[in-house]
Amino acid sequence: MSGISGQVCLRRGETLAAGCCWIYDNEIDWADDTCEDGGLVEVLDSRMRYQGTGFFNRRSKITVRLVSRERGEIIDRAFWERRIRAAWENRQALGFSNACRVIFGEPDGLPGLTVDKFGDCLSFQIVSLGMERMRDDILAILAEVFRPQCIYERDDLAVREKEGMEQRKGCVYGAVPPELIIREHDALMAVDIENGQKTGHFLDQQENRGHLRPYSAGRTVLDLCCHTGGFSIHAALYGAARVQAVDVSETALAMVRGNAARNGVADRVETVCANVFDLVRQDCEEGRQFGLVICDPPAFAKSRSALDGAYRGYRELNRRCMQLTEPGGFLVTCSCSQFMTQPLFEQMLTEAAKGAGRQVRLLERLMQSRDHPATLGEEHSMYLKGCILQVL
């Protein structure tokens, strides 16, 4: 794909600011009739000055996803290979090798493409129609660059249908090993790339799990929405006296138990299948407290219109978590809702502390791991935020 199918013009006053990669339908004044869904278009400002080249899709609210800011740049297989190799070289320069996100969409100049590396296996997702048209080239390049044991497609995403694509998943290269184990810091973790959430494992919290070391030794730990136990296993390895890992999925908890045994901490990790809101309410009523509470729920706000309700949900959950934290203990709390910005998140925590009647100290701010680089000026790319608090 190197041809341009047409041009789109931004509304008066709209500009493609540095760092901006998405153009929404309400930012566009007009688009040529020749603009092809999934094709490349040039973006012009209201004075007809070139702003960039991107994938076009009139069926999506994100009508253009920027690919290049260099007019006339040839966008072909060699272009995508350069981008993929550059992304992998960047991760290696940052110290990642065994398990990491090697491609994070727009920040890596590969709009709509996500690729995670789990040992010798790759798991990928495509959410833009333009990148879908490049799928065969992308897979061939991934096979050439990484020489993986397998490449697994996790395009079982509802958002693909909004972009005009079907959902699908399956192994598209090689064969999935009977057991896939990665290393995170000092922990060995099993990954289910076939049926696990997202691409199989939440790599965006990888570096944050390593932050638990100073807060875990000798403490009782409550890990809420634990998934497969990333925080739980790290807390136990860092010396926690006892860990209670809570999730609503028994399938996830089975993996927690397997990971605990794999790391020699099964005697200190207990799993509980429960709704976290119900569990924290009951624990508060019964006066239970823990030396370290970890709260990493799924996104409550999947749209801007859902933010008010999500804010109240986060506030109530964190109020309970603060009540469950021993005086002088620690709370690690996160949100992966892109609409819950860091300032809004900390405002919510301030209100939660007031509601809990507890004083809190902010010790660390957290964000997604460095293999998920955020683009300044693109709020949606800074989706994961968190705080480590001391609750007095």
| Burial class of residue 343 in the structure, from the number of CB atoms within 10 Å of its CB (0-12 exposed, 13-18 middle, 19+ buried) | exposed
What confidence tens digit (pLDDT) does each residue in 151-192 have?
A: 999 999 999 998 999 999 999 999 999 999 999 998 999 999
Q: Which of 100, 295, 334, 336 is catalytic?
A: 336
Highest mean predicted confidence (pLDDT) among 196-210, 263-277, 291-305: 263-277
Q: What is the pLDDT of residues 128-160, one digit of tens each?
A: 999 999 999 999 999 999 999 999 999 999 999
The residues pairing with 43 across neighbouring beta strands, listed in sequence order, are 8, 52
Span 118-137, mean pLDDT?
97
Q: How far apart are CA 219 and CA 222, in angstroms?
A: 10
1 pLDDT above the threshold of 70: no
Band (377; pLDDT cuts 50, 70, 90): confident
Single pTM value for the model: 0.93
Query: Which residue do the tokens 């902010």 mark?
Result: 362
Q: What's the pLDDT at 18?
A: 67
User: What pLDDT is recorded for position 198?
Assistant: 82
Which residue shows structure tokens 């092809």? 36
| Residue 56 and residue 41 in contact, taking contact as beta carbons nearer than 8 Å | yes
Average pLDDT score over residue span 8-32: 86
Give me 262's structure tokens: 């794999």
Active site residue 336: yes
pLDDT tens string 284-332: 999 999 999 999 998 886 777 778 888 999 999 999 999 999 999 999 9
pLDDT, residue 110, reads 97
Is the distance from CB of 181 to CB of 119 less than 8 angstroms?
yes
pLDDT over 80 at 13, yes or no: no
The SS3 of residue 22 is strand
Residue 2 clears pLDDT 80, i.e. is over it: no
Number of alpha carbons in the 13 Å side-chain half-sphere of residue 387: 20
pLDDT value of residue 20: 82
Mean pLDDT score of the chain, rounded to an integer? 94
